[in-house]
Structure formats: structure tokens, C-alpha cells
Amino acid sequence: MLKFFGISKKDKISVKDTANLFSVALNKVINDGFPEIQNFLNNNNNLEKSPKILDKEIKWFRLIIFSGNLYLLSTKFEENETLLLRNHIVDELMPFLDDDTEIAMDLLLNYETYFNETLQRQVNPIDTMTVAVFDKYNINECQSELFKRKNEPNPVLFNELRKYLSNFVWHWDEFLEKCKITF
């Protein structure tokens, strides 16, 4: 009844706790999901040969997923809230990228720049993540000659990969239904 009148009882959560929860949960999804992405690409019937993605190459996948999710913050929050939340999230993400914070920050900033440049051509963040996976793992080299020459992903493969990658996006709407971030 209270929700009907615009009043709801949401759990309050600090920006710092939100950043920690987001970072730990997203990293777990990446760790658990990368083997599926790896298997999907390495054994895909729409490719002429396997890209032979190795377990250690999760680092690049992690950067792609982090960059995509950081971008999406700006679609859900006001500019000042986005900046504050992003800064806390980045602090939490650094240990997942490299033990050296400076190297981790350089990696993330470089990937964010790449992501934003790719986003200008793609418009959709999940499509951009899909293109980034294609680029980083040189999937084009594994395609048929037609798609290789066009330098475009096979549309069937692209759509399948896009569906997989949509599972690596944090659902802010769901989170914000249950929690109120105290900025």
C-alpha cells in the first residue's frame, strides 16, 4: 500500500558498499561466465577455425565487461552521482586487473577510451562489448573469407555472442527497486 502512494521501504546502501557489491558480484560473474564464452567461441560452427582463446586471456574479457558496465552508469544516474559511484567502483575493480594499481588504472582507462570510440560507431553498449570481444580475440581471422574481407562479424555469431554478453551487464533497475543508494 505504501508503494502505491510513492513511498516504499528500500534498504539504504552507501556508495562505497554499492561499489563493493557491484565489483565483487560482477567479477564473480566474469570468472564463472568466461569459460562459457571461451568454449562458445573456440568451438563455434560459424567460424572456419578456432580462435583458441586461452584461460589466461580472461583479463581482456574482464576489461571489456568492466568498461561496458562503467559506461552504463551514466545511463542510470545523474552526472555527479555517476562520477562518485564510478570513482568508488574503479577503486574496487583495480585489484581484479593487476596488483600494481597504476598498471591497472592505465589498462582500464585505455579500455574505456577504446570502448567509447567503438561505442560511437555501435551506439548500443552490448553491441560495443560484442565488437570489443571480436576485436580483442581476433575473431575476424577465424571467419569465412567473405566476412574476413568485409571485416564484419558473421551476423549469426554476432547475435549469439551478444545474447551471451547481455548476461554480463549489471541490472541497475532491479538493484534500485530494492535499494536506495545514499549519495
Q: pLDDT tens-digit profile of 75-132?
A: 999 999 999 999 999 999 999 999 999 999 999 999 999 999 999 888 899 999 999 9
Angle between helices 101-122 and 58-73 (to 10 degrees): 70
- Strand partners for 14: 182
Residues 6+ positions from 177 with CB-CB distance below 8 Å: 10
Q: Are 172 and 86 in contact (CB under 8 A)?
A: no
Sorted by sequence, the CB contacts under 8 Å of residue 116 that are 6+ apart come out as: 71
The pLDDT assigned to 22 comes to 97
Alpha-carbon distance of 82 to 19, in angstroms, equals 11
SS3 13: strand
- Report pLDDT digits (tens) over 8-39: 578 999 999 999 999 999 999 999 999 999 99
φ, ψ (nearest 5 deg) of residue 9: -95, 95
Task: Quote the cell numbers at residue 100.
Answer: 600494481
Q: What is the mean pLDDT of residues 63-83?
A: 96
63 is written with which cell numbers? 576489461
- Residue 8 confidence (pLDDT): 58
pTM of the model: 0.90
Q: Is the pLDDT of residue 135 over 50?
A: yes
Q: What is the pLDDT of residue 5?
A: 47
Q: Convert the pLDDT of each residue in 163-178 to its tens digit.
A: 999 999 999 999 999 9
How many degrees, rounded to 5, is the angle at CA 119 between CA 118 and CA 125?
A: 125
Whether residue 36 contacts residue 133, with contact meaning beta carbons closer than 8 Å, is answered with no
Q: What is the mean pLDDT of the chain?
A: 93
Percentage with pLDDT > 70 across the chain:
96
Contact of 36 with 30, CB cutoff 8 Å: no
- 3, pLDDT greater than 70: no
Distance CA 92, CA 176 (A): 20
Q: What is the 3-state secondary structure (H, E, C) of 70-115?
A: HHHHCCCCCHHHHHHHHHHHHHHHHHHHCCCHHHHHHHHHHHHHHH
Residue 147 pLDDT class (50, 70, 90 cuts): very high
Quote the pLDDT of residue 154.
94
User: In this predicted structure, what is the pLDDT of residue 123?
Assistant: 80
Asked if pLDDT for residue 1 goes beyond 50, the answer is no
CA angle 58, 77, 65 (to 5 degrees): 10
